[in-house]
Amino acid sequence: MTVKIAPSILSADFARLGEEVRAIDAAGCDYVHIDVMDGHFVPNLTIGPMVVKALRPHSAKVFDTHLMIDPVDPYIEAFVKAGSDIVTLHAEAGKHIDRSLQLIKSLGCKAGLSLNPATPESVLEYVLDKLDLILVMSVNPGFGGQSFIPAALEKVKRIKAMIGSRPIEIEVDGGVVPGTAQALAAAGADVLVAGSAVFKTSDYAGNIRALR
Ligand code: DX5
Ligand code: ZN
């Protein structure tokens, strides 16, 4: 099975976001990765639910919303209603991961949990049955264009073993380039997020193909 590619629109032209989403859709992306930052959990500010809602008519692809915000619970419903297909929160944000995951599921949305580079995979153990996706950060979240942290590869392998036969996707986010993509897929990654690697040139289709 070929790996899914989720271009991060963090690296898109924010003045033409609708057009950019249509372009990555036409270029063959699988998911549209939407990086939400609050200037508190991470040192950057990006996109709110209004923008997600405005982008929704531009593509029927999976909207993969990555919440880098703390607190997270007060905003989950807004991001689901805006049209997210998957809502992922960070294990390090908020105090009640189990409750937050239940909230996402109760709204009929897929739920993801993300781990920062220094967070051990053991935090997944008691919520595995509530997860549709596990997002392994291979950079410290906040910015696009950072270098891949190699320890993520080992973490993906361990998480793959933990998941067993559960229908959970493993997604890797940060510094993914064609050179790291193959090893990540071999380690068990199902979805690769790529910001700079997709948007670096106008040949989005070629850049996505190079990552697969
Ligand atoms: C980082 C974001 C990533 C980032 C990836 O906080 O979660 O999605 O945009 O960008 P690249 O692929 O450039 O590292
Ligand atoms: Zn992300």
CA of 57 to the centre of ligand 1 (A): 24
Nearest of 150, 158, 194 to residue 4 by alpha carbon: 194
Nearest of 162, 186, 193, 175 to residue 62 by alpha carbon: 193
- 173 in ligand 1 pocket by Cβ < 6 Å? yes
Structure tokens at 136: 């392994």
CA of 185 to the centre of ligand 2 (A): 18
CA distance 122 to 209: 34
**The whole model's pTM is what?**
0.98
Q: Tell me, what CATH number does 79's domain have?
A: 3.20.20.70
Number of domain units in the chain:
1
Along the 212 residues of the chain, how does pLDDT read in single tens digits?
699 999 999 999 999 999 999 999 999 999 999 999 999 999 999 999 999 999 999 999 999 999 999 999 999 999 999 999 999 999 999 899 999 999 999 999 999 999 999 999 999 999 999 999 999 999 999 999 999 999 999 999 999 999 999 999 999 999 999 999 999 999 999 999 999 999 999 999 999 999 99
Q: Whose CA is nearest to atom 1 of ligand 1?
A: 141
CA of 113 to the centre of ligand 1 (A): 16
Q: What is the residue type of 207?
A: N
Catalytic residue from among 35, 64, 132, 190: 35
- Domain of 90 in residue numbering reads as 4-211
- 65 in ligand 1 pocket by Cβ < 6 Å? no
